Structure 1
């Protein structure tokens, strides 16, 4: 096993351990971190003309944001959940456009929005 394969294996085991040990609040933080990471990677792929990787990474970011959206609890979250639902829907539409138009500014816009949501989430004690 080469060093890169060993590193990937460690990261997979480490992530699985974190998921097993994580409470729901931490799981949302991990999803947001993953979304921000995919957006940064997609931006880099776009910058270097790696269109297939860009599309795949934007697709993963859309999947993560969709997961955040699916996890909203409208009964408990009320107006905040409704507003987050709309924001996540907006983020997804912007990422679809970013992918189609190769527009880095749209990736940056979504990353900024997700960072803002994450900072609010991080401030909530659980």
Structure 2
């Protein structure tokens, strides 16, 4: 048996189990973590001149951020905060595409920084919910 194939299968099963038990809030956190992972992979691929790997990783990062964007509840003319979040996700997707075209790791860093900031907000919400649940 191929050990790498076995490892991938194990990771797939592990992530499936994790997502099936996760709250909607945790699923968003997991998407953000996945987006950051794909951006890091794209940056590594850029440094290795692996254009195919770069393209795949950037495409996956764009898809993840697109999923986050689709998850926004924009029905009933969303609030200014939701519109701003939607615009931010759109900007991130655009910058990732530009980073892929220009092979610019600084653009990837910019998007990663923005996504980290958003994720820190989500993480803080989880911390508050956990603290309130413990009271």
TM-score category, normalised to shorter length: over 0.9
Count of residue correspondences:
126
Counting only pairs closer than 5 Å after superposition, residues 38-117 of structure 1 correspond to structure 2 as 38-75=38-75, 78-117=79-118
Distance 2:44 2:93 in 1: 19
Structure 1 residue runs of 5 or longer lacking an equivalent are none
Distance 2:84 2:52 in 1: 32
Higher Rg of the two aligned structures? 2
What residue is the counterpart of 1:124 in the other structure? Answer: 125
Counting only pairs closer than 5 Å after superposition, residues 4-23 of structure 1 correspond to structure 2 as 4-23=4-23
What residue is the counterpart of 2:133 in the other structure? Answer: none
Report the CA distance between 1:9 and its aligned residue: 0.9
Report the CA distance between 1:75 and its aligned residue: 4.7
Distance 1:98 1:5 in 2: 30
Q: TM-score when scaled to structure 2?
A: 0.89
What residue is the counterpart of 1:24 in the other structure? Answer: 24
Report the CA distance between 1:74 and its aligned residue: 2.6
Report the CA distance between 1:78 and its aligned residue: 1.8
* CA RMSD, Structure 1 to Structure 2 (Å): 1.3
Distance 1:10 1:65 in 2: 25
Distance 2:46 2:113 in 1: 18
Structure 2 residue runs of 5 or longer lacking an equivalent are 130-135
- Which contiguous aligned blocks of 4+ residues in structure 1 show a shift greater than 4 angstroms? none
